[in-house]
Amino acid sequence: MAIDFSLSPEQQQLQAAARGFAQQMLRGVHKAISNIEKPEDRFYATKPFYDEVAKAGFVKALLPKAYGGSEMSTLDFAIAAEELAAVDINVPTTLLGTGLGLEPLLQFGSDEQKRRFLPDFIDNGADRLAAFAFTEVTGGANFDCPDPTAGVQTVARREGEEWVISGKKHYTTNGNGWNGKGAHLLTVVCRTDLTQPPQQSLAVIIVPGNTPGIEVVGYLDTVGHRAVVSPIMHFNQARVPASNIIGKPGDGMAICSGAFSWTAAIIGAACTGIMRAAFECAFEFAKSDKRSGTVPVIEHQNVGFMLADLKMRIEAARYLTWKACHYLDSTHRAGDELAIMAKVYCSELCVQVVYDAMRLVGVDSYTDKYPLAALMQDALCFPLYDGGNMGVRRRQLHRLFRRPGFDPMAAAEGRLSASPI
């Protein structure tokens, strides 16, 4: 059968529902957070919007049917994510943060762990946030450094039937939870032995947010994603049962890259949503504004050419994202090459597209008359976070290409490369 990019009737319904939901429920986020000074208060002000996200079923969509969720495929999630991000990036990123926090458990957790921790998110999704505590206050890119003296310094020491966790993290999206004390569940990236390289010692341990020893010591204030919370978190000998480790020490390498492959694909869709919002703004301006001239500026060739360039890039970003999601889904998340490429390509394209939309609109785009300056602030985050494109994502691709026998056509053809991981 020929390639067919048309959406199924169910996907069309999902897209329309997500579009309607975003227009109706997320339009108010910007106003609700705009005059709030403290970053954590901007985040708390989004709670009523997140309630609606949960009510609409987007938290349940993260979870497998076997545990009561509705288990949306990555591709379907991306279709919805583009619609939400085109209206607001903050509340969908809180949802993404919960998805990221749960991914280690979903992909690598035992049945017992899933039964213990997931039902809460089904029954009370609006109040339950998850967080992935990966980034150390000293950086995240070198988490995989084979030298045991470098990399992740958050440590989990085994004492009897408990892990005792100590360390300092930041940018832990959702880490403070809605109550400012701790997310409902944190998946904490740590090392079980600081004398062993991460290949033997990197681990991900589930830490309930009410565990004594978790401390939120401050918040980072970001230039965009203004109501996405970035707490600085200390783990001061936080004790959890030994059974909370996901897999075994050393599995943290695969768990981290697995968790970040899902977000990579979804971020491709979020970037497409932001680019779309920028295009729509520039397009409306071009059709309606003469700028003291005699004709709407769309009649000028340079404006028409720029619109064509913007639209072409957005189309390309969407189809790469869809293909990346399809490849991820059809390989049970093992094929992450295209997801990483979608993250790198769409995020850098997004910055360029928003900037070009600003050039098209001209000087007024630099004011609050248009949403473009704020979109630029949001766009600048995409290449830098979720594993920066320079420190993490290109290195992942580089590592892939260096594998013996790497097959450059495998991902394009929907196959896994025959080379060993």
Ligand X SMILES: Cc1cc2nc3c(=O)[nH]c(=O)nc-3n(C[C@H](O)[C@H](O)[C@H](O)COP(=O)(O)OP(=O)(O)OC[C@H]3O[C@@H](n4cnc5c(N)ncnc54)[C@H](O)[C@@H]3O)c2cc1C
Which residues are part of the catalytic machinery?
386
Alpha carbons 247 and 367: distance in angstroms, whole number = 51
> 20 or 146: whose CB is closer to ligand X?
146
402's CB contacts (< 8 A; 6+ apart) are: none
Tokens of 306: 């720029």
Alpha carbons 308 and 286: distance in angstroms, whole number = 12
> 336 or 356: whose CB is closer to ligand X?
336
List the x/- string, 230-259, binding to ligand X by CB under 6 A: x-----------------------------
395 touches ligand X by CB under 6 A: yes
Using a 10 angstrom Cβ sphere, with 0-12 exposed, 13-18 middle and 19 or more buried, the burial of residue 132 is: buried
How many other CB atoms are found less than 10 A from the CB of residue 155? 18
**8 Å CB contact between 86 and 276:** yes
How many other CB atoms are found less than 10 A from the CB of residue 111? 9
**8 Å CB contact between 346 and 321:** yes
Q: Tell me, rounded to whole angstroms, the distance of Cα 280 from its chain centroid.
A: 24
> 98 or 321: whose CB is closer to ligand X?
98
- Closest approach of Cβ 170 to ligand X, in Å? 8
Question: What are the Cα distances from residue 285, in Å, to 274, 304, 364?
Answer: 17, 12, 11
List the x/- string, 195-224, binding to ligand X by CB under 6 A: ---------------------------x--
**8 Å CB contact between 180 and 142:** no
- Closest approach of Cβ 40 to ligand X, in Å? 14
73, 107, 142, 377: which one binds ligand X (CB under 6 A): 142
> 184 or 326: whose CB is closer to ligand X?
184
50, 121, 171, 322: which one binds ligand X (CB under 6 A): 171
74, 172, 176, 257: which one binds ligand X (CB under 6 A): 172
SS3 assignment, position 162: strand
The closest alpha carbon to 25, from 68, 69, 55, belongs to 55
268 touches ligand X by CB under 6 A: no
> 135 or 417: whose CB is closer to ligand X?
135
225 touches ligand X by CB under 6 A: yes
386 touches ligand X by CB under 6 A: yes
135, 201, 321, 347: which one binds ligand X (CB under 6 A): 135
**8 Å CB contact between 163 and 156:** yes
Alpha carbons 259 and 134: distance in angstroms, whole number = 11
- Closest approach of Cβ 56 to ligand X, in Å? 22
Alpha carbons 217 and 32: distance in angstroms, whole number = 25
The stretch among 49-57, 278-286, 367-375, 377-385 that binds ligand X (CB under 6 A) is 377-385
Count of chain residues binding ligand X (CB under 6 A): 27
417 touches ligand X by CB under 6 A: no
How many other CB atoms are found less than 10 A from the CB of residue 212? 9
> 222 or 417: whose CB is closer to ligand X?
222
> 230 or 417: whose CB is closer to ligand X?
230
List the x/- string, 86-125, binding to ligand X by CB under 6 A: -----------x--x-------------------------
- Closest approach of Cβ 125 to ligand X, in Å? 18
State residue 185 phi and psi, 5-degree precision: -145, 130
The stretch among 66-74, 127-135, 211-219, 334-342 that binds ligand X (CB under 6 A) is 127-135
CA 185, 191, 195: angle at the middle one, nearest 5?
170
- Closest approach of Cβ 145 to ligand X, in Å? 7
**8 Å CB contact between 347 and 273:** no
392 touches ligand X by CB under 6 A: yes
Where does this chain bind ligand X (CB under 6 A)?
Answer: 97, 100, 132-135, 139-142, 171-173, 222, 225, 228, 230, 381, 384-388, 390-392, 395
